[in-house]
Amino acid sequence: MYSGGMFSMANNSSQSRARWNRELGGKVAVVTGASRGIGEAIAVALAAEGCRLVLAARSTERLQEIAEGMRLRHSSEVLVVPTDIGDEGQSRALVSAAADHFGTVDILVNNAGMGIFGAMDELHLDDLRHVFAVNFFGPMAALQAAVPIMRGQGGGTIVNVSSIVGRLPQPLGGGYTATKFALHGASGAARAELKRDNIDVVLVCPGLTDTEFSQHSRISVPGAEHRQGERHSLGRGVDPERVGRRTVTAIKKGEREVFITLFDRALVWFAAHFPALLQWVLVYVTRYRRRRFEEGGS
Ligand SMILES: NC(=O)c1ccc[n+]([C@@H]2O[C@H](COP(=O)([O-])OP(=O)(O)OC[C@H]3O[C@@H](n4cnc5c(N)ncnc54)[C@H](OP(=O)(O)O)[C@@H]3O)[C@@H](O)[C@H]2O)c1
């Protein structure tokens, strides 16, 4: 049974300040896509705060290694649950497994995700459905499984890891962009709906981050059918650890939408305020990215 505290606060300003200083120690956090990259960094940052962790992804061995590191470094209690988030049944089962093991779920981090690259008029729709299953329907299934538990215990936090492309169309990445726009829309609605239950819905929107993301993205263009697992350089991004630390802060503060760098925030602001100019820039970005695709990059 939930022991109160962090999530049971009402919504006046002094209590909001109290939330900011709140320790996460002992809270149960489920993190999807915890086997590498941003998810691993978020999970490690939560372990450092004293959370009990439930790690999910498909790479079981890697999850076990990460869990072992947390036990050694932070004496963390960690449960590994091999999960394919693209399967809604497995997403729901993950949350149930966490609740069965620890008796509660305080924090759900929907981080697992993948990219898909290709022009909108050429994308294989089966590829697009697959990416929607992983990036949108899986997280929604986990959210639906977690909310009754959090509601029953007086509150919780759901973190949806989106991207700046949830606010900014990405030419030749329109399929991926669409999954993140969907996540933004759903998160905004859920945040309003769940306010009365003391359940925060936090959107984390990284820009370019130094992970294996592009290597695991699906390339869905004619002549390069189902290309995946290639080494594509998107350039150098921020360290995933920075995203992990920022996410922990956002959970403590109950923030609405989080950008990692000033540049990311500026880009999103520009897109919102200068849509015509943005469209013009995107035409040039499209030409550039097409050339990169043809050369085998992304
Ligand atoms: N890197 C960036 O520049 C960037 C920027 C903005 C937003 N993001 C977002 O950040 C999140 C994490 O991406 P990342 O950069 O850390 O990429 P990554 O290094 O490729 O890691 C992706 C994680 O998701 C897991 N995953 C992928 N498909 C899965 C599935 N079907 N079931 C369960 N787990 C699955 C992977 O684990 P397994 O392969 O072991 O299953 C892995 O742990 C994604 O939602 C992505 O959209 C990334």
The domain spans of the chain are: 13-294
CA-based torsion, 147, 149, 151, 154: positive or negative = negative
147 Cβ below 6 A of ligand 1: no
DSSP strand pairing (218-219 vs 227-228): antiparallel
53 Cβ below 6 A of ligand 1: no
Using alpha carbons, list the distances in angstroms from residue 172 to 141, 179, 220, 235: 28, 14, 10, 16
Q: Where are the beta strands (DSSP E) in the chain?
A: 28-32, 52-57, 78-82, 107-110, 116-117, 156-161, 199-205, 218-219, 227-228, 257-259
Between the CA of 88 and the centroid of ligand 1 the distance, in Å, is 17
pLDDT value of position 103? 97
Tokens for 249, please give them. 């802060």
User: Rounded distance, CA 157 to CA 168, Å?
Assistant: 25
The closest alpha carbon to 177, from 85, 271, 287, belongs to 271
The residues, ordered by sequence, that sit 6+ positions from 19 with a Cβ below 8 Å of its Cβ are 6, 9, 252, 253, 254
111 Cβ below 6 A of ligand 1: yes
Point out the ligand 1 atom lying closest to the alpha carbon of residue 62: 40
- CA 16 to chain CA centroid, nearest Å: 24
Pocket residue to mutate for ligand 1, from 87, 111, 167, 204, most atoms within 8 A of Cβ: 111
Domain 13-294: CATH superfamily, name plus number: NAD(P)-binding Rossmann-like Domain (3.40.50.720)
Tens digit of pLDDT per residue, the chain (298 long)? 344 444 444 343 334 433 433 579 999 999 999 999 999 999 999 999 999 999 999 999 999 999 999 999 999 999 999 999 999 999 999 999 999 999 999 999 999 999 999 999 999 999 999 999 999 999 999 999 999 999 999 999 999 999 999 999 999 999 999 999 999 999 999 999 999 999 999 999 999 999 999 999 988 876 655 455 444 455 679 999 999 999 999 999 999 999 999 999 999 999 999 999 999 999 988 988 888 777 766 5
98 Cβ below 6 A of ligand 1: no
Task: Please provide residue 185's backbone torsions phi and psi, each rounded to the nearest 5 degrees.
Answer: -60, -45
241 Cβ below 6 A of ligand 1: no
Compute the C-alpha angle 46/48/54, nearest 5°.
45
pLDDT value of position 202? 98
Active site residue 176: yes
- CA 241 to chain CA centroid, nearest Å: 14
pLDDT value of position 236? 77
